[in-house]
A and B are shown apart, each in its own frame.
Chain A
Amino acid sequence: MPAIGINNLTKRYGSVTAVDELSLSVERGEVFGFLGPNGAGKTTTINVMLDFTSPTSGGVRLFGEDVHENSVSVRQRSGLLLEGYGVYPRLTAREHVEHAIATKDAADNPDELLDRVALGDAADRRAGTFSKGMAQRLAIAMAIVGEPDLLVFDEPTTGLDPNGARLLRDIVRSQADRGATVFFSSHILSQVEAVADRIGILRSGRLETVGPIDELESKLGGRTRLELQLERITDDLLELLRGLAGVRSVRTENNRIRIKCRDDAETKLRVLNTASEGGQLVDFTTNDSQLDDVFSAVTEVAQ
């Protein structure tokens, strides 16, 4: 039985289809990266997943339980960091965590949890005075109360500085290590890439692609990017480069030429030779296909 089973989920708001026949399964103990540009339907999916919003059709099961019928028990097993949450301005950090512990009938020590997110010194301060990053860390502490079986993080890095982002990554890893399933939703690829075992890319409410990170990277395999720095760039040279076998695209940017081409020695050599003859090559770098490319390829192709 998967931790998350999304089955043919559709959610429409009037004439707008936010999520379109989405089916997705996340196994227990997996860290799943839910990636997509803003407005792709990630938050809507999460809202249905947690019974905040009712689906137009289809449904979601968490640990085999229908989320609408078993709303409370599903949330009892989940820890949430939701996009657009706000703290209670008049409660202290400790009171927030205590409230989560009491509501979940958990046995955690609030101070330990606050130390975990580096808020130990601010435990008695009212959350209304917190910066965005502090509030975010407080919400992370509340999410891991009661060792939940499932963690749902929606845009969790918003407002976090690099230290905060690292802290978040550590927490995701340690939660996964103890066997929790993590559903990590973000529009920032590098954040997802850093923690996820498997990634699904959502676009316009549809799942464009899903798979392990390395598999996605090799999907665009055999392609590379060359960046050339030249003394001067002429239109003739650009035309010449575009005409070479194996070259897919040529663009100029700040006195540099960016070329996407086949990833083999012959093609790369041909490109470099042509450039060197036509415009005095100063320097070059190569860049193998990255998840970034997968992301843009997947989301651009469909446009």
Chain B
Amino acid sequence: MTVEDVLRRDLTSVYRSRTGAAVAAITALSTVVIIGLVGLNPGPVVGLVGGLLAVGILLALVFLGDPKQIAITTGLFTAIAIGLALGYSRPLSMRPPMGAAVVGIGSVLSLVIPVVALLSSYATIIGERNSGSIRFLVGLPNSRSDAFIGKFISRSLVVVIPLVLGLLLAGIIVELTYQSGSFMAMAGLAAVSVPYALMFVGLGLTASTYGNSIYQVVAIVVTALATLRIGWTAIRFLLVWETNPPHPEWFYWIAALNPFNAYITLTSLFATMQREHPFLFFPSDRVWVDGSMEIISNTETIAKTPTVAAIVLLAWMVITPLFGYYQFKKTDLL
């Protein structure tokens, strides 16, 4: 089974480089450490200071340290955050609402997951082409499919393992120290975060396959991110620039097909919220009335439903790496 050999070899290399440890560090910070520190007794200010300190130290380590140092420090911060959260939680009535945890982590992860997933995957193929080790990858009796799938699984594990672990630990903290906290909310968040992470691992891998140099790969990745996150919204708003709400239904479908939006829609399932999620691409149809925003209509369409969001996210997860897969299969690698 050569997929397994490719996978094992690749994981070993990643975990001996800083990439694996850096991904784990950033993921732990965005989940357990944030949740743990924000829930603290003296209030979010302590959490903020602690969080900034943790980010600073870890960033320094990611650039200067070796993988072991990064891993040890990450573990240490995570343990401190859990210990503090459980030891100094506030009295029940003063605890932060669970909705805040879900929205907070969901928002942070909607940006952090693409970053760590791309970080772990963008060099996958181009790195081996640059170093020449791709001659072993394709010279040993691996089929191109085995090579690509082995790489995809390896880089996915690098992201998914710390992500799921971080969210499950965060779930324990939320359960114990947040108002009406529920472990299941974080478990649900983990479930929708995995396909989202896989989509961006696929994007990095595809870019890595198409680019002929590391610069081209980075350019592809940055362009894709900017298009999906900013360009998509911009175009959507330009299309209805001169018109007043209520907007036609296709306006919501455009938003619904965006992977960021699909992920945010799905994370919103795990908290009862007073208002719409701030990152969501479907604001209700609002207009300014006497100096304040008023909702004048709220178009009902299946485009806004979590079912559509789930289908959209899964489709992105499957299609994105397929582009790279077919390119890798047919391209002249050497």
Contacts and interface: CB of A to CB of B under 8 A. Distances in A.
A54 B332 contact: yes
A273 B333 CA distance: 62
A87 B141 contact: no
Nearest to B139: A80
B284 interface: no
Interface string A31-68: 00000000000000001001011100000000000000
A91 B14 CA distance: 10
A84 B8 CA distance: 24
Given A72-B141, A91-B12, A47 B334 contact: yes
Interface string A84-102: 1111111100011001101
A230 to B, nearest CB: 52
A259 interface: no
Contacts of A299: none
B131 interface: yes
Contacts of A96: 136
Interface residues of A, number: 28
A300 to B, nearest CB: 30
A96 B133 CA distance: 11
A71 B141 CA distance: 8
Contacts of A80: 135, 139
Nearest to B330: A54
A174 B168 CA distance: 58
Contact of A103 (B2, B13, B16, B17): B2
12 contacts: A50-B139, A52-B139, A54-B332, A73-B141, A85-B136, A86-B132, A88-B13, A88-B131, A90-B13, A91-B13, A99-B9, A104-B141
B12 A103 contact: no
B132 A84 contact: yes
Query: Which of A53, A72, A85, A103 has the most chain B CB atoms inside 10 A of its CB?
Result: A103
A104 B142 CA distance: 9
A6 interface: no
Contacts of B249: none
A52 B334 contact: yes
B143 A53 contact: no
Contacts of B17: 90
B-side interface mostly: helix
B5 A102 contact: yes
Interface in A90-129: 90-91, 95-96, 99-100, 102-104
Contact of A99 (B5, B141, B332): B5
Q: For the complex of A and B, list the 6 residue pairs with the smallest distance between their C-beta atoms, beginning with the closest.
A: A86-B132, A86-B131, A90-B16, A85-B135, A76-B141, A52-B334
Nearest to B145: A72
Interface string B132-155: 110110111111100000000000
Nearest to B142: A103
Interface string B303-320: 000000000000000000
Contact of A75 (B5, B13, B141, B332): B141
Nearest to A44: B334
Interface in B112-168: 131-133, 135-136, 138-144
A27 to B, nearest CB: 23
Contacts of B13: 88, 90-91
Interface in A241-270: none
A199 B263 CA distance: 63
Contacts of B139: 50, 52, 75, 80, 82, 85
A142 interface: yes
Contacts of A72: 141-143
A71 B6 CA distance: 17
A154 to B, nearest CB: 10
Given A47-B334, A90-B12, A52 B133 contact: no
Interface string A173-217: 000000000000000000000000000000000000000000000
A45 to B, nearest CB: 12
Query: Which of B2, B8, B136, B332 has the most chain A CB atoms inside 10 A of its CB?
Result: B136
B9 A53 contact: no
A123 B117 CA distance: 33
Contacts of B143: 71-72
Interface in A116-153: 142
A91 B140 CA distance: 16
A240 to B, nearest CB: 56
Contacts of A102: 5, 8
Contacts of B5: 99, 102-103
A102 B146 CA distance: 14
Contact of A89 (B131, B332, B333, B334): B131
Given A53-B334, A102-B5, A75 B135 contact: no
Nearest to A90: B16
Nearest to A84: B132
